Amino acid sequence: MSPTRIIQLQANGVDCAAEVETRTTLADFLRRQCGLTGTHLGCEHGVCGTCTLLVDGAAVRSCLMLAVQADGSEVTTIEGLVDTTDPGNPVLGPVQQAFADAMSFQCGFCTPGILMSTTAWLAQRPANAAEPTDKEIREFLAGTLCRCTGYTSIVEGVRLAAQRTASGGP
């Protein structure tokens, strides 16, 4: 048995605390101890971007971060993008809705990571930034791998999300 530590973090605004082996990744902690299985694991060594989520607002590959490193942090996963103001009527977040409208997925396995990467990317763009070009979007997407698509629909989803973010739309 590896050494253990009790950690506590906020996952999508909810406390999650547990004793974990110090070698446990953040991805495994969230999936096993917090019940947040929306974060997917692909390569498990930092290449594919599928496990991307936000730690204190920054995009992180959660297969490379240890859970103990996130102790005390605020974590946002794909589940946290949904607006649950009315628990009986959850509403997709704006980036999720843009991807749905642009059909930016096939099997959907990579989608949580790409949505979280897109959320972080849009958040760091200046409010008055011009609409991103295809080149900019494709460069940003280079950090995430999709085994299904030709990426064209994903580029469209990111562009739609950027347009709606700029206009304050849905």
Minimum distance of ligand FES from residue 107's CB (angstroms): 3
Edge-to-edge strands of the sheet including 14-21?
14-21, 4-11, 74-76, 52-55, 58-61
The answer to whether residue 103 forms part of the interface with ligand FES (CB under 6 A) is no
69 versus 106: smaller Cβ distance to ligand FES:
106
Minimum distance of ligand FES from residue 27's CB (angstroms): 7
- Residue whose structure tokens are 């649950």: 84
For ligand FES, the binding residue among 49, 80, 93, 112 (CB under 6 A) is 49
Asked if 11 and 62 touch (Cβ cutoff 8 Å), the reply is no
Binding span for ligand FES by CB under 6 A among 82-90, 95-103, 123-131, 143-151: 143-151
Minimum distance of ligand FES from residue 130's CB (angstroms): 28
For ligand FES, the binding residue among 18, 55, 92, 148 (CB under 6 A) is 148
> Please, which of residues 82-101 interact with ligand FES by CB under 6 A?
none
The answer to whether residue 61 forms part of the interface with ligand FES (CB under 6 A) is yes
Those residues whose C-beta lies under 8 Å from the C-beta of residue 36, and which sit 6 or more positions away, are 11, 12, 30, 77, 79
The answer to whether residue 122 forms part of the interface with ligand FES (CB under 6 A) is no
The answer to whether residue 105 forms part of the interface with ligand FES (CB under 6 A) is yes
44: left (phi over 0), alpha (psi -120 to 50) or beta: left
- For the four alpha carbons of 167, 153, 44 and 140, in that order, the dihedral sign comes to negative
Give Dmax (Cα) for the chain: 53
Angle at 156 between CA 90 and CA 80, to 5 degrees: 25
Minimum distance of ligand FES from residue 15's CB (angstroms): 25
Question: Tell me, what DSSP letter sits at residue 26?
Answer: H
Minimum distance of ligand FES from residue 128's CB (angstroms): 32
Task: List residues near ligand FES by CB under 6 A.
Answer: 41-44, 46-51, 61, 63, 105-111, 146-149
